[in-house]
Chains A and B, each alone.
Chain A
Amino acid sequence: MPEHRIITRRLRDVPQSWTLDAALSDGAYQAARKALAMEPSAVQEEVKTAGLRGRGGAGFPTGVKWGFLPEGSFPRYLVVNCDEGEPCTFKDRELTAQDPHQLIEGIIIASWALGVHKAFVYLRGEFAEPFDRLFDAVQDCKARGILGDRVLDTDFSLDIVCHRGAGAYICGEETALIESLEGERGMPRIKPPFPAIAGLYAKPTVVNNVETLSTVPHIVSRGGEWYSGLGYERSTGTRVVSLAGHVNRPGNYEIEFGCTFRDIIEEYGGGVRDGRAIKFVIPGGASSQWLVDADLDAIYDFEVAAGLGVMLGSGSFMVFDETTDPVQMAWRLAKFFSHESCGKCTPCREGTGWINKILYRILNGYGRPNDWDLLLQVGGQISPGVTKAPFAGTTICPLGPSCVAPVASLLKYFEDDVTSRLRDSSVGDLIPVVNADATVHDADAEVESHV
């Protein structure tokens, strides 16, 4: 199965792909010139026809999102999401560091289509190198008249600001990102109002993912019809899947929607290492429920995934073989969410911490007889029903419910791993004696010191 080469072509095939000279001799900014000669509405129409869906996680149709900006309300902003904190997602890092000019071209086209004159790229704080590459690329574009007062010799003006966050996964959520960009704590806002109405500085704002915008130049140059002819039903085109875990060839692969989950593992990933059996697959980042081997012949498509109760999310794709302990995995995911909860909603702030601690003590042999019920109860307070995806939520943003996904996956596939550990639990005899009236609470102390 061939790797596709649309948005990954330049960075794979052109040496020094991140430099302006290499990009220009490879045809960069031709699509931007073409777009600037079109009516903005015609550019929007092309993206709608393409059926492009957001690559940041939610898969929302990009052209439709662009159409939500209220008419006649200015200034308006484009905010580019390069926060990429979802576990096992590493495509935006590669797209930004290796082909910043593709991204800048996408930003120019989107800004023209939307009537934006100032765009912000929010990179996660740890992305020092991608930041430098993008920053230098923007400077080069300013020096060569590709950005600035007269973009590519037109009357259109555009400035791009590169902005680094400072270590907070939640700032990938679009309203938290906007708060952070305003110099606030990165806590999600209650919607409505949606960013399209009142986003950055309370102005109409579009937030798009790096990969989404990197795709736009290709849609403009080859046409929305061409793009919509790729892919599967409503999941048009290609996307970059960040494949990792126990596969022989982990990496970023540009795949066309419509292959199967198994194709991704076998054809792109070269199969599971040492020919081992698959224990489970997490197809959409930490926030997704898991799949097991029997599910893997399903089509890789947004709607098919939803039917299976999972998400394709950010394109993350984790494969774990039979040596993996599902309880340890669930704990590590819960630890992630408990660390990253912004603390604004009580069920998430408290619940993610409890799920983390309960899984930790089960994992380490300190589980208590009713811990399984307790997990489901705490999970149910974040996400009523626990077992039903897409997850309901009592919270402002989906991070809290995401922490319930590993619990629901244990419940669905690996309940025995939990109950057998609880049967063997050593609470009552193996508790480290810390003080005279040592009780079961010392298990908490033990847990605290490790978590």
Chain B
Amino acid sequence: MSVFTPRNVERAQALIAQYPEPKSALLPLFHLIQDQDGWVSDESIAEIAALVGCTAAEAQGTMSFYTMYKRQPVGRFLVSVCTCPVSMVHGAYEILHGLEARYAEDPDVTVEEVECNAACDKVPNMQVNYEYHENLTLASAIQIVEEYKSGARVARGISGGRAESGASNA
């Protein structure tokens, strides 16, 4: 049994076929499994390593370098608040701390602080599963998260893959 769904097995093969060397597909494959499962398990690492022809240790060595991959389950909604310079002087820490307090006990929502989101003209801002939400106040940020929770907004995968496929495209 593969860790991937049948549809994602096909996607994985297509991803690997894009590159002259299969190991290049590691990052996209980790995105794919993370969109599918919400995190990256030991079994996923082992299978992905086998798919690209390296050891599990090598695959994990690569993966552990990158902050987007989660090694344990997180909330269904990953809220990434930028606190970098421009955002900081526009109150981003108040939003970060406000969201952290609001969702501390909520298993659906994981709040994290991130470096510049490349949206510095529309601060403060956050991404929810890598979808941008800009020019925020704490109240509007909470409202947006609540809209995701209620289903009024449809979220991307936890690794930013398209909402409709529930997984990374490509």
Contact = CB atoms under 8 A, between A and B. Distances in A.
A145 interface: no
B18 A87 contact: no
A183 B52 contact: yes
Contacts of A131: 160
A336 interface: yes
Interface string A80-105: 00001111111011000000000000
B43 interface: no
B5 to A, nearest CB: 20
Contacts of A90: 118-121
Nearest to A342: B65
Among A93, A184, A282, max chain B CB count under 10 A is at A184
A440 B144 CA distance: 43
A135 B65 contact: no
B130 interface: yes
A165 B80 CA distance: 16
Given A88-B120, A242-B120, A244-B123, A182 B160 contact: no
B27 interface: yes
Interface stretch (A53-61, A66-74, A122-130): A122-130
B81 to A, nearest CB: 12
A125 B66 CA distance: 9
Contacts of B26: 183
Given A87-B84, A184-B62, A246-B89, A165 B121 contact: no
Secondary structure at chain B's binding surface: helix, strand, loop or mixed?
Answer: loop
Given A125-B68, A128-B130, A135-B170, A250 B121 contact: yes
A248 B54 CA distance: 52
B115 interface: yes
A333 interface: yes
Contacts of B28: 163-164
B89 A161 contact: no
A244 B134 CA distance: 14
Contacts of A183: 21, 23-27, 52, 54, 62
Contact of A87 (B23, B31, B61, B116): B116
Interface string A168-203: 110000000000111111110000000000000100
Interface string A328-365: 11001100100110100000000000000000000000
Given A128-B131, A166-B69, A252-B121, A332 B84 contact: yes
A384 interface: no
Contacts of A126: 68, 80, 114, 117-118, 127, 130, 160
Given A245-B89, A332-B84, A87 B66 contact: no
Contact of A332 (B66, B85, B159, B168): B85
B144 to A, nearest CB: 16
A85 B115 contact: yes
A8 B19 CA distance: 32
Contact of B62 (A185, A329, A333): A185
B162 interface: yes
Given A125-B31, A329-B85, A182 B116 contact: no
A315 B52 CA distance: 38
B115 to A, nearest CB: 6
Given A166-B31, A183-B26, A88 B169 contact: no
Given A126-B127, A245-B89, A201 B67 contact: no
A166 B68 contact: yes
Interface of A: 75, 84-90, 92-93, 118, 124-129, 131-132, 135, 161-169, 180-187, 201, 242-246, 250-252, 282, 286, 318, 320, 323-324, 328-329, 332-333, 336, 339-340, 342
30 contacts: A88-B86, A90-B121, A118-B20, A124-B118, A125-B130, A125-B160, A126-B68, A126-B130, A127-B130, A128-B160, A129-B130, A132-B162, A135-B170, A161-B19, A163-B28, A164-B28, A165-B27, A167-B67, A167-B68, A180-B27, A183-B26, A184-B62, A201-B20, A201-B21, A242-B121, A245-B89, A251-B121, A328-B88, A336-B84, A336-B115
Interface of B: 18-21, 23-28, 30-31, 52, 54, 61-63, 65-69, 80, 83-86, 88-89, 114-123, 127, 129-132, 156, 159-162, 168-170
Given A167-B69, A185-B65, 5 more contacts: A124-B118, A128-B156, A132-B162, A169-B115, A336-B115
Sorted nearest first, the 3 A-B pairs with minimum C-beta distance are: A128-B160, A166-B66, A183-B23
